[in-house]
Amino acid sequence: MQNRFTSQRITSMLNISENSITQYVPVEELRAFKALKKSRIRRLSLILTVCSLVGIFLCMFLPWTQNINAKGYVTTRLPAQRPQAIQSVIAGQLNKWYVREGDFVESGDTIAFISEIKSEYFDPQLVARTSEQVDAKSQSINSYNDKIKALDRQYEALEATLGLKREQINNKIQQARNKIAMDSIDLINYRTNLQIADNQYERIQQLHEKGLKTLSELQEKDLKRQQTAAKVTVQENKLLNTRNQLTNLFVELSSATQEYADKLAKSQSDRQSAVSARLESVAATSKLQNQLSNYSQRQQFYYITAPQSGYITKTIKKGIGEIIKEGADLATIMPADYDLAVEIYLKPQDTPLLDTAEQVRLRFDGWPAIVISGWPESSTGIFSGKIFAIDRFISDNGYYRVLIVPDENDRKDWPQKLRVGTGTQAFILLNDVPIWYELWRQLNGFPPDFYNLEKEKKEEDVKLKAPLKSIK
């Protein structure tokens, strides 16, 4: 009986028979069963550990795509396509709104109307009155032009009169010179006659002393000699008077020249005064025209219009009657047509590794995605892009800004409902390396292409030094 029970027990433990005795005997308390159970668990743990280590070791040699992770947000490629504020050019009082938040407006549509608050612009006839001032100043310019022309004619007349006066005096001078020449000839003639009369008187006197001539003949020659001497004296005085007249004519010519020079200078001075007054009128007219243009343009700024077509996203100034300053924001408009882009910021140590047209993987907030950064082919829900621009100067936050645009070669377009400002996570793809190398690089904190760059530099140095050695 006992052997039969033991046989059934062993059969039950070995699961040979369908009959179980576990309800009669506590199997867990048996030492053999405990030892057998522990050995199975240890063997299974060892097998799992070895398989895991082998799997991890093999995974270390799997290819891994190096990448740079960065966060950013959706923006637009062109500055004109980004949200912008609608501002007031002039200060004024807000009187009326023509739009509501969310409305679509075309370029040039009226957004709001403001009224004037500065006292110098209160006059409703300001433009008309300024235009009258411009017309008055323009007429004064014409008057000065006429005055300048009259003074020019006066100057020309004075010059012509001076020329005639000079010609008249020069004629008189020529006449005086001719008269002096004639008087000089007459004086020479009279002096010759006087010399002849003296010789005749001396011969008659000698003959009279000898008794050959009478006293009356002697006295007659003496009278003739005295008459001839008187004529010489008269002619000398006449010649002297003519020479004095010539001198007076030269003085008169100088006086006339000086007199007309004063008149010409006064006429020129009056002309310059008229020109100066005309220029002042021109300057005043230009200033008034500038004011008129400013007043006309200012009235156009009472109506604030949309700079481009888009949606009114937010009204900043709300109350009617609110006073606004120059350049104050009234509302925000989002352009209707825009080209999406992603703006991210990278560390300075990662920037030298990048270049334009490099591929980027993007994950947008609100779009479910499974991302495995090192295996982009296995990721789902991500979108492709490429680097469009990299800033040449570091930003205020200590990072470099990078702009990413959609990749035209990728068939998968960015979501149509993607909006500006949506959060984005970017994965910039670099080289394909084993996983063990990537882990080692991450633990040491090296940039992705650290050793590759060092190797390239050494190769370049070798290439540069090789020709020098060959020359030697």
Q: Which H, E and C letters describe 271-322, residue by residue?
A: HHHHHHHHHHHHHHHHHHHHHHHHHHHHHHCCEEECCCCEEEEEECCCCCCC
pLDDT band at 358 (very low <50, low <70, confident <90, very high): confident
pLDDT digits (tens, 9 = 90+) for 101-147: 889 999 889 999 998 888 787 778 888 888 888 888 888 888 889 98
Q: Dump pLDDT digits (tens) for 215-266.
A: 888 888 888 888 888 888 888 888 899 889 889 988 988 988 898 899 889 9
Structure tokens at 295: 């007043």
Short-list 343, 345, 347, 379, CA closest to 361: 379
Q: What is the pLDDT of residues 173-230, one digit of tens each?
A: 899 889 888 988 888 888 888 888 888 888 888 888 887 778 888 888 888 888 888 8
For 375-397, write each residue's pLDDT tens digit: 555 566 788 888 998 888 888 88
Q: Is residue 257 part of a domain?
A: yes
Summarised one tens digit per residue, pLDDT across range 16-28 is 556 665 566 666 6
Q: For residue 458, what pLDDT is reported?
A: 44
Residue 166, classed as helix, strand or coil, is: helix
The pLDDT confidence band at residue 295, using thresholds 50, 70 and 90, is confident
**CB 360, CB 404: distance < 8 Å:** yes
Residue 171 sits in a domain of what CATH number? Answer: 1.10.287.2610
The verdict on residue 401 lying in a domain is yes
The model's confidence at residue 402, banded by pLDDT at 50, 70 and 90, is very high
Indicate the pLDDT class of residue 452, thresholds 50, 70 and 90. Answer: very low
Residues 210 and 250 in one domain: yes
pLDDT of amino acid 457: 46
Check pLDDT > 80 for residue 278: yes
pLDDT for 456 beyond 50: no
Residue 468 banded pLDDT, cuts 50, 70, 90: very low
What average pLDDT does the structure give for the chain?
80
Could you tell me if 8 and 28 lie in one domain? Answer: yes
- Could you tell me if residue 378 is inside a domain? yes
Mean pLDDT confidence for 281-301: 87
Note the pLDDT tens digit of each residue in 39-66: 566 677 778 888 888 887 777 777 776 6
pLDDT at 449: 59
Spatial neighbors of 3 by CB under 8 A, at least 6 apart, are none
pLDDT of the residue at 36: 58
Burial of 152 (0-12, 13-18, 19+ CB in 10 A): middle
What per-residue string of b and e applies to 278-297 under the rule 16 or more CB within 10 Å gives b? beebeebbeebbeebeebee
CATH code assigned at 349: 2.40.30.170
The answer on 48 and 87 residing in a single domain is no
CATH code (residue 107): 2.40.50.100
The domain tally of the chain equals 4
Residue range(s) defining the domain that contains residue 23: 2-59
Residues 197, 138 share a domain: yes
In a domain, 369, yes or no: yes
pLDDT tops 60 at residue 7? no
Whether 187 and 243 share a structural domain: yes
Q: Give Cβ neighbours of residue 437 (< 8 Å, ≥ 6 apart).
A: 64
Query: Are residues 273 and 378 located together in one domain of the fold?
Result: no
As to burial, measured by CB atoms within 10 angstroms (0-12 exposed, 13-18 middle, 19+ buried), residue 80 is exposed
Strand order in the sheet with 310-315: 84-87, 329-335, 310-315, 104-105
Residues 307, 260 share a domain: no
Same domain, 103 and 166: no
- CB half-sphere exposure, 158, CA atoms < 13 A: 19
Span 63-73, pLDDT tens digits: 776 677 888 99
Same domain, 102 and 17: no
What is residue 102's predicted lDDT score, i.e. its pLDDT? 87
Pair 70, 45 in one domain: no
Mean per-residue pLDDT for 353-368? Answer: 82
Residue 1 has pLDDT above 60, yes or no: no
Bridge-based pairing state of the strands 92-97 and 383-390: unpaired
The pLDDT-based confidence of 374 (bands split at 50, 70, 90) is low
Query: Strand pairing of 110-115 and 303-305?
Result: antiparallel
Q: In what order do the strands lie in the sheet with 110-115?
A: 303-305, 110-115, 92-97, 323-324
Domain contains 461: no
The SS3 assignment for 1 reads coil
Is 313 contained in some domain?
yes
Do residues 349 and 447 touch, judged by C-beta distance below 8 A? yes
Answer whether residue 203 is part of any domain. Answer: yes
Q: What is the pLDDT of residue 322?
A: 87
**Domain shared by 280 and 387, yes or no:** no
CA distance 400 to 350: 9
**Residue 454 pLDDT exceeds 80:** no
Do 143 and 268 belong together in one domain? yes
Domain contains 253: yes
CA atoms within 13 A on the CB side of 124: 0
Whether pLDDT at 466 is above 50: no
